Chains A and B, each alone.
Chain A
Amino acid sequence: MKMKRIFAVLLASALMGSVFVGCGDDTSNGGGDTTNSGGGDTTQTAEIEDGATLKLWGPNAALATLKKQAKAFEDAHKDKNVSVEVVQMEENDAGTQVLNDPEAAADVFGFASDQLTKLTMAKAIMPLYKDYEDKVVKEHSKSAVDTVRGDFEGSEVVYAFPETDNGYYLVYDKKVVSDEDAKSLEGVLEACKKAGRKFIMDAGNGYYSCMFAFTGGLKLDGVEGEAQDTQKFNEYDEKKVSASMKAFGELIKKYKGTFSKAAVANISAGFGENPRQVGAGIDGTWDTSVNQKALGDDFGVAKLPTINIDGTDTDIVGMIGYKYIGVNNNTKYPEAAMALADYLADKDCQQERLNDLGWTPTHTGVEVKDNPGITAMQEEGKTFVVQANIIQAFWDPMGNLGNQITKDKADLSDASMSKLLKDTLNNING
Chain B
Amino acid sequence: MKYIDYVQLSPLEKFTHKLSSFFTNLPKHIGNFFSAIGRFFVRLGKGIVNGFSNYGTRFSKGDGATKLSYLVMGSSNIVRGQYIKGGIMLLLEVLYFLFLFTFGFKYLGKFGTLGDTPTQSNMDPVTHRMQRVPGDNSMLILLYGVLTIVVTIVFFVFYIINTKSAYHVQKLSESGHHIPSFQEEMKQFGDEKFHITLLSIPVLLISIFTLLPLVFMICIAFTNYRPPNLAPNNLFTWVGLDTFREVFENKQGANMGSTFLALTEWTIVWAFFATFINYFAGMVVALMINKKGIKYKALWRTLFVITVAVPQFVTLLIMNQMLQLDTGAINILIESMGGQQVNFIGDDPLTAKITVIVVNLWVGIPYTILITSGILMNIPEDLYESARIDGASPARTFFSITLPYMIFVTTPYLITTFINNINNFNVIYLLTNGGPTATEYYQAGHTDLLVTWLFKLTMSTQDYNYAAAIGILVFIVCASLSLITFNVTKSAKDEEAFS
Contacts and interface: CB of A to CB of B under 8 A. Distances in A.
Direct contact of A and B (CB under 8 A): yes
Interface of A: 5, 8-9, 12, 15-16, 19-20, 23-24, 26-27, 30, 33-36, 38-43, 46, 96, 99-100, 102-103, 118, 121-124, 126-131, 133, 152-153, 155, 157, 198, 204, 260-262, 266, 329-330, 334, 392-393, 396-397, 399-401, 403-404, 407-409, 420, 423-424, 426-430
Nearest to B436: A403
A107 B52 CA distance: 55
Interface in B342-360: 343, 346-348
A196 B326 CA distance: 13
A35 B132 contact: yes
Nearest to A2: B190
A23 B103 contact: yes
A50 B121 CA distance: 23
Given A24-B103, A329-B130, A152 B123 contact: yes
B227 A27 contact: no
A258 to B, nearest CB: 12
A40 B126 CA distance: 9
Contact of A12 (B147, B205, B230, B459): B205
Nearest to A327: B130
Contacts of A36: 130-133
A266 B327 contact: yes
A266 B328 CA distance: 12
Contacts of B121: 123, 126, 153, 329
B254 A262 contact: no
B132 A420 contact: no
A95 to B, nearest CB: 10
Given A262-B326, A427-B253, A155 B132 contact: no
Interface of B: 99, 102-103, 106, 119, 121-134, 140, 144, 147, 197, 200-201, 204-205, 208, 227-228, 230, 232-234, 251-255, 324-327, 343, 346-348, 435-440, 442-443, 459-462
B329 to A, nearest CB: 15
A38 B129 contact: yes
B443 A122 contact: no
A274 to B, nearest CB: 15
Contacts of A393: 253-254
Contact of A122 (B129, B230, B343): B230
A127 B127 CA distance: 11
Given A19-B208, A392-B461, A40 B124 contact: yes
A126 B232 CA distance: 14
B253 A122 contact: no
Given A99-B230, A404-B439, A131 B461 contact: no
B347 A122 contact: no
Name the residue among B99, B130, B228 with the largest chain A CB count within 10 angstroms. Answer: B130
Nearest to B461: A392
A288 B204 CA distance: 55
A407 B230 contact: no
Given A407-B347, A428-B253, 8 more contacts: A33-B134, A36-B133, A96-B460, A103-B232, A122-B233, A157-B128, A329-B130, A424-B439
B406 to A, nearest CB: 40
A19 B146 CA distance: 14
6 contacts: A27-B102, A34-B134, A260-B326, A334-B130, A426-B252, A427-B440
A129 B127 contact: yes
Nearest to A127: B128
Contact of A204 (B129, B228, B251, B346): B346
Given A40-B131, A42-B127, A127-B128, A100 B462 contact: yes
B232 to A, nearest CB: 6
A98 to B, nearest CB: 10
Contacts of A152: 123
A16 B155 CA distance: 14
Contacts of B147: 19, 23
A410 B346 CA distance: 13
The 3 lowest CB-CB distance pairs between A and B, nearest first, are A40-B124, A400-B437, A430-B253
B233 A40 contact: no
Contacts of B439: 397, 400-401, 404, 420, 423-424, 427
B129 A153 contact: no
A338 to B, nearest CB: 9
B252 A430 contact: yes
B346 A260 contact: no
Nearest to B198: A5
Contacts of A424: 439
Contacts of A42: 127, 129
A399 B230 contact: no
Contacts of B461: 392
A423 B437 CA distance: 13
A210 to B, nearest CB: 14
A39 B121 CA distance: 12
Given A12-B204, A123-B234, A403-B436, A409 B348 contact: yes
Contacts of B132: 34-36, 329
Nearest to B327: A266
A124 B233 contact: yes
A389 to B, nearest CB: 15
B99 A20 contact: yes
